[in-house]
Amino acid sequence: MATQTSQSLGGLGQSVKRKEDVRFIQGKGNYIEDIYLPGMIYGAFVRSPFAHALIKGIDSSAALEVEGVLAVVTAKELAEHNLAWMPTFAGDTQAVLAGDRVLFQGQEVAFVVATSQYTAADGVERVEVDYEELAPVVDPHKSLEMPVIRTDKEDQKDNLIFKWDAGDREATDRIFNEAEVVVSQHTEYQRVHPAPLETCGCVANHDPVTGHTVIYMTSQAPHAHRTVFALVAGHVGLEEHKTRVVAPDIGGGFGNKVPIYPGYVLATVASVLIGKPVKWIETRTENLQSTGFARDYHTTTELAASKDGRIRAMRVRTLADHGAFNAQANPSKWPAGLYSICTGSYDMEAAHVEVNAVYTNKAPGGVAYRCSFRVTEAAYVIERAVDLLARELDMDPVELRRKNFIPKEKFPYRSPTGWVYDSGDYHAAMDKALKIAGYDELRKEQAEKRARGELMGIGISSFTEIAGAGPRKQFDILGLSMNDGAEIRVHPTGTVTARLGVKSQGQGHETTFAQIIAEELGIPSEKIIVEEGDTDTAPYGLGTYGSRSTPVAGGATVLAARRIREKARRIAAHLLEVSVEDVEWKDYQFQVKGVPDKAKTMAEVAFAAYTNVPDGEEMGLETTFYYDPPNFTFPFGTYICVVDIDPGTGEFKIRRFIAVDDAGTIINPMVAEGQVHGGLAEGLAIATMQEIRFDEQGNLLNSSFADYLLPTAVETPDWELGKTVTPSPHHPIGAKGIGESANVGSPQAIVNAVVDALSHLGVTHIDMPITPWKIWQVIQEKGV
């Protein structure tokens, strides 16, 4: 038999084609809208047209007259079952349906259940709600001076949600007081929305006879969602052992499908009440107006430095707008997520970060949008500030970065806010990016163009990301440890079924986790099926977001496989009639040490595991492993953006975008590149077109894709990718996770490029999204 290689197995580092694509490209995916159950009925929401109002009454009679409308559920009915409120992942409470007041436009007020989606829509139009409008709190900067929004919370005396800080205030202030150079900039990181192509939805099916409930839902974290369901609604029959949450194929999540939404609860309640399967699925508008937004961080960033360009300290003051309920998805003890990673790639003496979060009359959220818990916001403020400092010092931004990078020798590196960076080689990634870009040539070209009055800019971002939440001593969500399980079953004929507690929404888990197992067990990846998303079958896990699947579930998968290999080795020794110590795992098979042709493949061992086990050994070849990562992983990279601006119209074109990523060991280079492409497109969108905007009355101004923009192939440049590989020293295969780096790293590269193009005019900052009219406006202001 020919020896197996990583390539023949489809193992680590191989660009194996994505298994899931076979069904996706044939239109055979199975999304919520594809699920039809016999007798299924439909639910739709009556939503508040106002951002802030009292509800004086709800009259459902006309709606109930529409033929096919079966029920109209309001907060009153929910309250009878103690279900009018639900906990959020951030430990706040959220109205499932508004009771006496609505707190944001689009808030759920009543749930109409009907025999079809059409009649449900007609019913929604006929529910009459009597509102008395109240003044809304729209501007987060004024929120603390305004009347209390959350009158439902007895101890809430103002609109502050939390005040949180990290780092050393005194040491930081001391350095700032004595610093030779200080730069300061206020930036508004606008509210954006992850806008997954598939909106949120579910089909809930309660069986009144058995008392079992199956909920198919768009869930990035099926297990966590089931547990919350059981905690909140166990008393009405949704006990965990009788409830099955199934996340089928998911059309993108990006953090938007982490929270629990009222629609899931109401579809389930309706199914319990009526005894039929109930489908609820959002329209695009509903998704944009009511589900988890991202960012909305408003920050003053300061850097203290020496005249020769040593960054000494960083001070960050952030105001965070969380909307009407604190429904952000962050680990319990980390209200601002991992934001204190904001010292980024730079070695400095001290830092202090403070975040004040406030309520406003806007949709709740604060989810990740492809960024592990506020890391995008952190990377943005540091990378913008470093550029400002470079300007202030009249230094090349590359030179300043290089001078302050945490040197390779200093890893593991303890940051001034307490993180221990696992590994890094920032200079190498920078060098590679500069080389691909031809940086010196570009600067020369820029100088020539500038002399001719043409506008061209080069923007750099050397970001550090933090992924893989997280070690259970520090990380939980509502008390649930952020560990994840992997179960591997090797079948008698040598094929494998593996099940994970995470849930792919497009990341390619079915392919990449099979590759990990192939590498560890010597079984071809095409013989390995990876299943996720069904709480009845998959081991527990907290789901997929925050680039945690590979760092956490990937670790679990490797260690489960190695546990299997241990047992397999004993069986192999039995088959080879030698002692276990004489058997080694080499070339993806078990060999008698020094006698390579006395060997057994994993498939042979698997068969023996069910037919010929040695005495004292249990039959079978399967295991489950729960992985508690010892630390986070710290992916990083350098991105370079080249932009040309039309001075007459402010239109700009991203001519080139170079992205060099280091995510440690790469499992599938093609899948990793795909992740980077997607993240870059989102970063471009955030930097240049996306913003969830409200008018003064709190009306959402962009409630469809006509106004909330997604870039197309026309707007996206030809991404030029590169990579360096600095494995994580603590992860079983050295992988760090790549899902979110590109979104974390890219927006500021674009902003820096545009500002760089205009810097000789005295422009120091432009808030995102950067549009032609904003550029034109600053050009006018500078009197050019």
Instruction: Tell me the window of 78-86, 327-335, 700-708, 732-740 that interacts with other proteins (CB under 8 A).
Output: 700-708
Catalytic residue check, 185: no
Choice between 344 and 650, CB closer to other proteins? 650
Q: How many residues bind other proteins (CB under 8 A)?
A: 29
User: What is the Rg, in whole angstroms, of the alpha carbon atoms belonging to the chain?
Assistant: 27
**C-beta atoms surrounding 501 within 10 Å:** 30
Catalytic residue among 107, 570, 740, 748: 740
Tell me the three state secondary structure of residue 572. helix
Interaction between residue 115 and other proteins (CB under 8 A):
no
CB of 269 to other proteins, least distance (A): 23
Pattern of binders to other proteins over 229-268, x per CB under 8 A? Answer: ----------------------------------------
Instruction: Tell me the window of 146-154, 218-226, 445-453, 766-774 that interacts with other proteins (CB under 8 A).
Output: 766-774
Pick the binder of other proteins from 23, 693, 760, 782 (CB under 8 A).
693
Catalytic residue check, 532: no
Catalytic residue among 150, 371, 520, 565: 371
Which H or E run contains 77?
helix 75-80
Pick the binder of other proteins from 36, 712, 718, 783 (CB under 8 A).
712
Interaction between residue 7 and other proteins (CB under 8 A):
no
Interaction between residue 689 and other proteins (CB under 8 A):
yes
Instruction: Tell me the window of 81-89, 278-286, 374-382, 407-415 that interacts with other proteins (CB under 8 A).
Output: 278-286
Catalytic residue among 14, 94, 190, 220: 220
CA angle 740–215–201, rounded 5-degree value: 55
Q: How far apart are alpha carbons 318 and 240 in whole angstroms?
A: 39
Sign of the torsion formed by the C-alpha atoms of 497, 503, 509 and 513: negative
Helix, strand and coil in the chain, % to nearest 5: 30, 25, 40
Place of tokens 């995102």: 768
Pick the binder of other proteins from 715, 720, 725, 761 (CB under 8 A).
715
In this structure, the strands spanning 476-477 and 455-464 are unpaired
Pick the binder of other proteins from 93, 117, 300, 332 (CB under 8 A).
117
CB of 668 to other proteins, least distance (A): 31
> What is the SS3 assignment for 207-226?
CCCCCCEEEEECCCCHHHHH
CB of 306 to other proteins, least distance (A): 42
Pick the binder of other proteins from 252, 669, 711, 729 (CB under 8 A).
711
Pattern of binders to other proteins over 285-304, x per CB under 8 A? Answer: x-------------------
Place of tokens 């009249």: 394
Catalytic residue check, 655: no
Interaction between residue 188 and other proteins (CB under 8 A):
no
Q: Check residue 730 and report its DSSP letter.
A: S
Q: How far apart are alpha carbons 676 and 468 in whole angstroms?
A: 17
Q: Check residue 53 and report its DSSP letter.
A: E
Instruction: Tell me the window of 232-240, 250-258, 432-440, 705-713 that interacts with other proteins (CB under 8 A).
Output: 705-713
Q: Determine contact, residues 662/725, Cβ cutoff 8 Å.
A: yes
Catalytic residue check, 740: yes
Pick the binder of other proteins from 121, 144, 160, 171 (CB under 8 A).
121
CB of 716 to other proteins, least distance (A): 10
Q: Determine contact, residues 529/24, Cβ cutoff 8 Å.
A: no
Q: How far apart are alpha carbons 314 and 299 in whole angstroms?
A: 12
CB of 429 to other proteins, least distance (A): 31
Interaction between residue 777 and other proteins (CB under 8 A):
yes
Tell me the three state secondary structure of residue 480. strand
CB of 401 to other proteins, least distance (A): 31
Q: How far apart are alpha carbons 321 and 340 in whole angstroms?
A: 18
Choice between 61 and 777, CB closer to other proteins? 777
Strand partners, 664: 735
Main-chain phi, psi angles of 553, to 5 degrees:
-65, -30
Pick the binder of other proteins from 22, 25, 447, 701 (CB under 8 A).
701
Which H or E run contains 73?
strand 69-74
Nearest to 744 by CA among 551, 467, 476: 467
Strand partners, 358: 160, 321
Interaction between residue 651 and other proteins (CB under 8 A):
yes
Active site residues: 220, 370-371, 740
Which residues in this chain contact other proteins in the complex, by CB under 8 A? 117-118, 121-122, 125, 283-285, 648-651, 689, 693, 701-702, 706-707, 709, 711-712, 714-715, 771-773, 776-777, 780
